A and B are shown apart, each in its own frame.
Chain A
Amino acid sequence: MYMDTREFIKSLVASLIPSAILVSGSWFSFMKLLPKRKAPPFRPPGALAESEFLAKCIRCRRCGQVCPNETIKYFDTLDPVMAGTPYFVPREKGCILCMKCNNTCPSGALEPISENPDAILSKVKIGKAVVDKNICNSFNGFVCGVCVFACPYTNIAIWGDTWEQPVVTDKCVGCGLCEQACIHYPQAIRVVHTVEEKEVTIEKI
């Protein structure tokens, strides 16, 4: 492994150039592209906190191939930070909580969760559904309650009050099936990030 100083410096410079391009691309993405997003994407169930997730995920696309509901989509932009990472749009396709993606994830970016309902209720936290009372049918004189019965955890995560007015509890896992099912346009119930909790997990580490 003998190497003289000249060759050392040359190799260093030559390898710094592509690294610098990729780092500045990531910097550009952090500074310019990410703030432009209205909200961070929803990751599949079991995902680690966003910063850790981005570091761990190897962008293999196995989670999307195993997803039976075709819930998971992938970023593909020139954005080097997000490209190839999985996300889903609740209004398009909610997650049916089959826990296949996180059990197949090779890198641990999605933590494996067993398929029984208790484990899912306690561990999955993609976000939380929020009802917009101004437009929801049930709050405006039409008995609806479609979301209540779309939820896999009816009466645990969400329950119907008088005239099926949806009330979301803290047990909601944020799968987005209610948002997908809502018959109002635009959707009167939508999943939002539980930002506080994500920040807590980042602080813990």
Chain B
Amino acid sequence: MRKYRILSRSLVLILMVVLVFYNLYEKKAGQIGAEIEIENSKVLTAYDYVFGDNNKPMLFQGDFEGGLWSFRFFALSMSDPLSFVVSTVTALEFNFTMFLSILIPLGLVLLFGRFFCAWICPYSLFAELGNSIRKILSKFGIEYFRFDLPKRTPLFYLIISLTLGAIISIPITTLIYPPRIFTEGIYHLILSGFITSGLIFIIFLWLGEIIFSPHLFCRRLCPGGALFSLLGKWRIWKIQKIESQCDSCGVCNPACPYDLNPSAGYFPSECDNCSLCIDACINNNRNALKNVIRFKV
């Protein structure tokens, strides 16, 4: 499972980069006199090699724009449910078009809970990498802190920052939301070559997580995770413990990035089905823990 998750999130990250370049290429190909800019850039030349040679459009007709935070693919427009919540609460106005654009992601969240965190969000990829680095470092005998915040902090952060944001009319909640930061960071890095303040925050956060506490952000601050946990209460995709196969050894508990208690068979909606507990389980071959999709009765 872990392999597939790494593959899926890397794919998302690569796609985010590739599509910004694709958008840039499309734009340049549509401009008269921009051939020289395409020639000057190795990447755009490569795109020209793949997509070029057919009649270059005179009017820019983008097939794709945006990133993980919000994108359009032909006529299909999709946004992160958090973006809708934040924009609606901050502006105190319901926008129906935007509501339509979150319907598909919202449906997926209702069905699969926090799957977004484990399968799509590029930051969780880095967080897991950080955790591996931490493990390697601790083999050399370096002791680290394990710092933690109270359990309900994400929910409280979501509510408080939304309220304060509505009061001052600035969407402050999402200033620290990784999918948004990655979307704009990649765009800015490619278009202007500068690193954004958001990416600097992410880098420091990542280093901080390696030193102080693995997965701290996802577990204890992420507003998106909090929202998806709330919405994913009635999800159908869960991990289940088979009582008869489990030796109650508790090896799976420290593996859980969300500090849940897999060995007690407790999988609340904070669980993002990352399956790290399944990987850790010594009775893996007996399926003591397994992914199940089941409709609630």
Contact = CB atoms under 8 A, between A and B. Distances in A.
A24 to B, nearest CB: 10
Given A61-B66, A80-B172, A56 B93 contact: yes
Contacts of B98: 106-108
B223 to A, nearest CB: 10
Contacts of B174: 58-59
A23 interface: yes
A120 B157 CA distance: 42
A19 B79 contact: no
Contacts of A195: none
A70 interface: yes
Contacts of A108: 87, 93, 95, 97-98
Nearest to B152: A11
A12 B69 CA distance: 27
A68 B66 contact: no
A19 B27 CA distance: 39
Contacts of A106: 70, 72, 77, 79, 83, 97-98, 101
Interface stretch (A47-55, A129-137, A138-146, A160-168): A47-55
Interface in B53-97: 59-60, 62, 65-67, 69-72, 77, 79, 83, 86-87, 90-91, 93, 95, 97
Interface residues of B, number: 61
Contacts of A64: 187, 191
Given A18-B176, A22-B175, A68-B30, A11 B150 contact: yes
Interface residues of A, number: 46
A58 B171 contact: yes
B290 interface: no
A104 interface: yes
A3 B66 CA distance: 40
Given A26-B168, A106-B97, A19 B65 contact: no
Nearest to B94: A108
Contacts, number: 160
Given A19-B157, A26-B172, A7 B151 contact: yes
A75 to B, nearest CB: 10
Contact of A76 (B23, B159, B194): B194
Given A58-B70, A62-B71, A76-B197, A68 B160 contact: no
A201 to B, nearest CB: 14
A170 B199 CA distance: 44
Contacts of B153: 11, 14-15
A196 B169 CA distance: 21
Interface in A43-100: 51-52, 54-62, 64-66, 68, 70, 74, 76-78, 80-81, 83-84, 100
B188 A76 contact: yes
B51 interface: no
A51 B169 CA distance: 7
A81 B175 CA distance: 10
B188 A74 contact: yes
A14 B150 contact: yes
Given A19-B157, A107-B87, A68 B27 contact: yes
B27 to A, nearest CB: 6
15 contacts: A3-B152, A7-B150, A19-B157, A22-B164, A56-B87, A58-B79, A58-B171, A58-B180, A62-B72, A65-B187, A84-B184, A106-B101, A107-B79, A107-B98, A109-B87
Given A60-B83, A65-B62, 9 more contacts: A14-B150, A52-B91, A60-B69, A68-B31, A70-B27, A104-B72, A106-B77, A107-B87, A108-B87
Interface of A: 3, 7-8, 10-12, 14-16, 18-19, 22-23, 26-27, 30, 51-52, 54-62, 64-66, 68, 70, 74, 76-78, 80-81, 83-84, 100, 104, 106-109
- Top 8 nearest A-B pairs (CB, nearest first) are A68-B60, A15-B156, A65-B65, A15-B157, A11-B152, A10-B150, A60-B70, A22-B172
